[in-house]
């Protein structure tokens, strides 16, 4: 009898979580539709977009710089013994370069960006929601959705590709240092190997999908914060779930985008 009651409670808990998941998906869909409606309607908050791009970019720069350098350094040192095993040591710079440009640079930058930015947006807008600042903006005649949500989503969408290019460049610096340590390779030979290996079909897909990742970070963070409830507890929950959901969606969409980009820009 006790086991039956426990099983019923577990099933009820799973059903509740599943229901909350589908409610969140539906809410995100409606939120996205509202974003595109508001995006094309003037006035355009250009100054706010510039402000958020500056804040998001500058505050995220230190952590992505360290991350990019470590990515290049570690991947090169890890791949070196593998390339020696297969007698392909000369292809080390090109292999690392393709890996960073096509996948590691964009995805890891997006995940770091999600952890840093999505939680911050969720907490900021959540605090404004529970303290009724958003309601006060509506009463005063200001469109809070356009002023708070549209500007942040736009800033996230266009700042992440810039950060990704920067991270890829820093990763190449780390990779070169690792190559010098393990192979004593000259700078000119390293650059020639990387440039010869990386093609147009490697760079464009890697950068283009970061626009999607940036949009995901912006839409999830603003949705969680804008719809926060239950006071300070709701603010903390909004910040936490914003990171988890945006990171998970980045990985899921990356799976799809990899297949799409390979179809549009085949590597062979």
Q: Where are the domains of the chain?
A: 45-263
Give me the residues of the chain with pLDDT under 50, please: 1-2, 268
Which residue in 96, 91, 63, 87 sits closest to 177, CA to CA? 96
Task: With beta carbons less than 8 A apart as the criterion, state whether 64 and 109 touch.
Answer: yes
pLDDT at 228: 85
d(CA 39, CA 57): 22
Tokens of 171: 């990763």
Cα angle, residue 95 at apex, residues 182 and 265 outer, rounded to 5°:
165
pLDDT at 182: 78
Omega within 30 of 0 (cis) for the link into 188: no
Task: With beta carbons less than 8 A apart as the criterion, state whether 138 and 144 touch.
Answer: yes
Q: What is the pTM of this model?
A: 0.88
Alpha helices in the chain (DSSP H): 2-39, 46-85, 92-99, 105-113, 119-130, 133-139, 144, 151-183, 187-197, 200-226, 231-264
Tokens of 38: 């508001």
pLDDT at 246: 93
Neighbours of 204 (CB within 10 A): 14
Cα angle, residue 242 at apex, residues 119 and 210 outer, rounded to 5°:
85
pLDDT tens digit sequence for 20-79:
777 888 888 888 888 988 888 877 778 888 888 888 888 888 899 999 999 999 998 888
pLDDT at 10: 57
pLDDT at 2: 47
Q: Is 197 exposed, middle or buried (0-12, 13-18, 19+ CB in 10 A)?
A: middle
The residue whose two tokens read 């969606």 is 249
């Amino acid at each position: 009898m006790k086991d039956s009651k426990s099983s019923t409670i577990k099933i009820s808990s799973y059903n509740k979580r599943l229901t909350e998941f589908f409610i969140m998906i539906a809410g995100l869909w409606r939120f996205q539709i509202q974003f595109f409606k508001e995006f094309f309607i003037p006035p355009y908050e250009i100054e706010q977009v510039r402000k958020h791009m500056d804040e998001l970019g500058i505050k995220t720069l230190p952590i992505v710089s360290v991350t990019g350098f470590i990515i290049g350094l570690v991947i090169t040192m890890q791949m070196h013994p593998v390339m020696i095993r297969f007698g392909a040591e000369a292809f080390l710079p090109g292999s690392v370069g393709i890996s960073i440009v096509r996948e590691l640079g964009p995805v890891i930058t997006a995940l770091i960006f999600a952890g840093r930015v999505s939680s911050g947006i969720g907490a900021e807008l959540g605090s404004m929601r529970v303290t009724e600042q958003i309601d006060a903006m509506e009463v005063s005649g200001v469109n809070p959705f356009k002023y708070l949500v549209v500007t942040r989503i736009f800033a996230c969408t266009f700042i992440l590709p810039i950060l990704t290019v920067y991270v890829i460049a820093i990763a190449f610096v780390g990779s070169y240092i690792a190559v010098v340590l393990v192979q004593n390779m000259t700078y000119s030979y390293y650059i020639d190997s990387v440039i010869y290996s990386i093609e147009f079909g490697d760079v464009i897909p890697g950068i283009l999908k970061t626009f999607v990742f940036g949009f995901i970070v912006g839409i999830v963070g603003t949705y969680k914060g804008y719809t926060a409830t239950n006071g300070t507890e709701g603010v903390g929950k909004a910040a936490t779930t914003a990171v988890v959901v945006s990171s998970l969606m980045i990985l899921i969409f990356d799976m799809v985008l990899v297949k799409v980009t390979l179809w549009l820009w085949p590597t062979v």
